[in-house]
Amino acid sequence: MPLPTVILPGYLESAIAYRQLEQSLQQSGFPTLTVPLRRRDWIPTLGGRPVTPILQQLDRTVKQILQQYNASQINLIGHSAGGWISRIYLGEKPYLGRGEVQPSIYCAHPLINTLVTLGTPHISQERWTRWNLDFVKNNYPGAFYKNVRYVCVAGKTIFGVRRRGSWLAYSSYQLTCGKGNTWGDGITPIEAAHLEGAENIVISGVNHSPRSRGIWYGSPEPLKAWMQYLA
């Protein structure tokens, strides 16, 4: 029987944007819940502040689905920032954000069979996100936990150049990996979306966000390319 599956939304995104993906997974036999985030739930994390409120909601959702289906493990899907936040959740190192007194420790990797990251920037040059991403990179480099299957999905859709129509991509890629002239999904460059030791996938023509025009990672056709890796 397919494992229960949890979806963690991307930065400043709400659960409602992932309803189609959730339904598609359910129709394919995967009992699925999306962490019930609202856009305003991200406000305490702005400016590079700790993502503790998101980790807490993720933990509640994981425990809920484990109990609901009497399961010992799940699949975890993290879109965009949800991918690297999921890597914090897997870890056993105390996560103590700036200004926090009580560290968070989840050590959830025994509960996760497969972690899928969709368009996740696993590195960044942007000063507001570097503290959190450096914490992940330094403590859990690459596909860190050998008991977890890491699947990192990138999009090859827009090549960043300094001209109308691709300026946003160029700027976002440059902030993420240090160069704008590269391929990505319009927000995350391919080289930032992959991890050493993971099963790294590139899908052509997918946009970064579920709210984008056209198709994104969770649309029916791209979904076929990575759903096969779920346990």
Task: Kindly tell me the sign of the dihedral angle through the C-alpha atoms of 190, 191, 193, 197.
Answer: positive
Provide the number of structural domains found in the chain. 1
Distance CA 231, CA 225 (A): 14
The conformation of residue 25, written as its DSSP 8-state character, comes to: H
Q: Please, what is the average pLDDT of the chain?
A: 95
Residue 174 located in a structural domain: no
70-74, 77-81, 104-108: the lowest-pLDDT one: 104-108
225 close to 202: Cβ distance less than 8 angstroms: no
* Mean pLDDT to the nearest integer, 23-32: 98
Residue 81 located in a structural domain: yes
Report helix, strand or coil for 202.
Answer: strand
Residue 162 located in a structural domain: no
Cα 4-8-13 angle, rounded to 5 deg? 145
pLDDT attached to residue 126? 86
60 close to 6: Cβ distance less than 8 angstroms: no
* Mean pLDDT to the nearest integer, 137-161: 97
Which structural domain range is residue 107 located in? 5-154+193-227
* Mean pLDDT to the nearest integer, 111-139: 94
Per the DSSP assignment, residues forming a β-bridge with 82 are: none
Q: How does pLDDT run across 67-78, given as a tens digit for each residue? A: 999 999 999 999
CATH number of the domain residue 26 falls in? 3.40.50.1820
Residue 178 located in a structural domain: no
Residue 128 located in a structural domain: yes
Residue 61 located in a structural domain: yes
Instruction: Find, among 113, 85, 84, the residue nearest to 192 by Cα.
Output: 84
149 close to 195: Cβ distance less than 8 angstroms: no
Residue 222 located in a structural domain: yes
CB atoms closer than 10 angstroms to residue 13: 22
Amino acid at 58: L
User: Which residue do the tokens 């992959």 mark?
Assistant: 194
* Mean pLDDT to the nearest integer, 75-98: 94
Residue 114 located in a structural domain: yes
